[in-house]
Structure formats: C-alpha cells, structure tokens
C-alpha cells in the first residue's frame, strides 16, 4: 500500500518503543538488554533483507518446505536452551518459533491451493480505500471473529497438549503450573499451541472470512 513515509516511520518508532519499554517495565530485561536486542535486530535485518524474497519463495513453492520449517523451528527451540532454573524465556522462545512455523505453513498451504495470491506487479503500489461505515463495520467484524477463532484455537490446543505431554513423558499433572515448567511439557505445549494459532491466522480464519463473505 502507498502511505506517507513519515506515517510509517512514526508508527515503527512508536511500536518499537512500546515493545522495548514494556520489557523494562515488566522486569523481563534491563536497559542494556534492550539496547543489545535492538542492535541485534538491525544486524539481522542487514543480513537477511537481501535474501527475504529467496526465503519467501522457498517457503511457498518447495514441496517439503513445511517439513523443513517445522523441523528447523523445533530444533531451535530444543537445542537453544540449557537452563539451571526455570525461566519464561524458554517458553516465550518456543511460542515465537511455533507461531512463525504456523504462519509459514499456512502461507504455503494458501499458495498451493491458489488462495491469497500476491497482486500483479502492475497494480502496485495499492492505494488505501476511503473509510466508509461499511468498510469500518466489516473491519471490526473481521477483527472480532478472527480474535474469537484464535482464542478458541489457543484454548483447545492448550487443553489437549498439556495433558498429552504429561502422559507421554510420565509427568504428574496434578499441579498444571508446575508441570508446565518442565521442558518436556513447556516446549511441545507452547510450540504446538501457537503453531496452530499461526496456522489459523494465515489459513483457517481467511477461509472462514471467504465463506461468510467478509473477504
């Protein structure tokens, strides 16, 4: 979409500031952590930006891309943490990796089925449509339906994955909070649950919108 550059810069600055400040406010990270993370994000952007289209094309078109994506993200979640004591960082990382894998797999399915294809190059950049009551109403309805579906997906997967992981690894689940802190439960629970949330976001919810005429 074509929008003013200054608007994009202000939006990006505000969003970045809110994320960074929330980490400090919640006591999750120090100011030095946030600065290091910000610089690390810039490094990642510099390295990966030139190959984004290549990676995106691989994710969409390669036959076994979903298998590779799921395996790679799962391996990162398993081998990236060796904790002496429990920390929310491990679960947060598994949550991010699972959501990313779900989004990538949902995009792959969309492409294979011919859904939500990119607009032709000659139509770009797209212009923002005028805001009418109908457009605003549809946007709010889409938001409400989408949030409800994603919340239901999260709740359903959480109810299913935690007892299943406890049963597989023979971990008592009388105290669910304590059981969730075990790596054997936390990683599959977070990964599978938020993987399905990401997949629903990219595939199931848009299909639902198309079915009820809210596309």
Indicate the pTM of the whole model.
0.82
Report yes or no: 114 and 203 within 8 Å, Cβ to Cβ: no
pLDDT tens, residue by residue, 3-52: 788 999 999 999 999 999 998 998 888 999 999 999 999 999 999 999 99
Report the greatest alpha carbon distance in the chain. Answer: 59
What does 152-209 look like in DSSP terms, one character per residue? HHHHHHHHHHHHHHHHHTT---SSHHHHHTSHHHHHHHHHHHHHHHHHIIIIIHHHHH
pLDDT tens, residue by residue, 70-99: 999 888 888 776 666 667 778 888 899 999
Domain boundaries, the chain: 1-49, 51-212
């Amino acid at each position: 979409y074509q929008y003013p550059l200054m608007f994009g810069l202000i939006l990006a600055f505000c969003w970045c500031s809110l994320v960074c400040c929330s980490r400090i406010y919640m006591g999750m990270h120090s100011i030095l952590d946030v600065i290091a993370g910000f610089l690390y994000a810039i490094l990642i952007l510099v390295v990966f930006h030139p190959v984004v289209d290549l990676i995106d094309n691989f994710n969409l078109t390669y036959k076994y891309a979903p298998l590779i994506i799921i395996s790679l993200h799962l391996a990162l979640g398993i081998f990236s943490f060796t904790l002496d004591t429990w920390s929310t960082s491990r679960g947060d990382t598994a949550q991010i990796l699972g959501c990313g894998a779900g989004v990538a797999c949902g995009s792959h399915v969309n492409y294979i089925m011919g859904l939500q294809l990119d607009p032709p190059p000659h139509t770009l950049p797209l212009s923002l449509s005028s805001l009418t009551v109908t457009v605003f109403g549809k946007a709010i309805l889409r938001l409400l339906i989408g949030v409800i579906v994603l919340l239901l997906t999260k709740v359903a997967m959480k109810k299913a994955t935690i007892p299943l992981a406890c049963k597989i690894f023979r971990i008592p689940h009388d105290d669910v909070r304590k059981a969730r802190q075990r790596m054997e439960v936390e990683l599959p629970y977070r990964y599978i649950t938020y993987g399905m949330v990401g997949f629903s976001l990219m595939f199931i919810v848009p299909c639902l919108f198309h079915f009820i005429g809210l596309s």
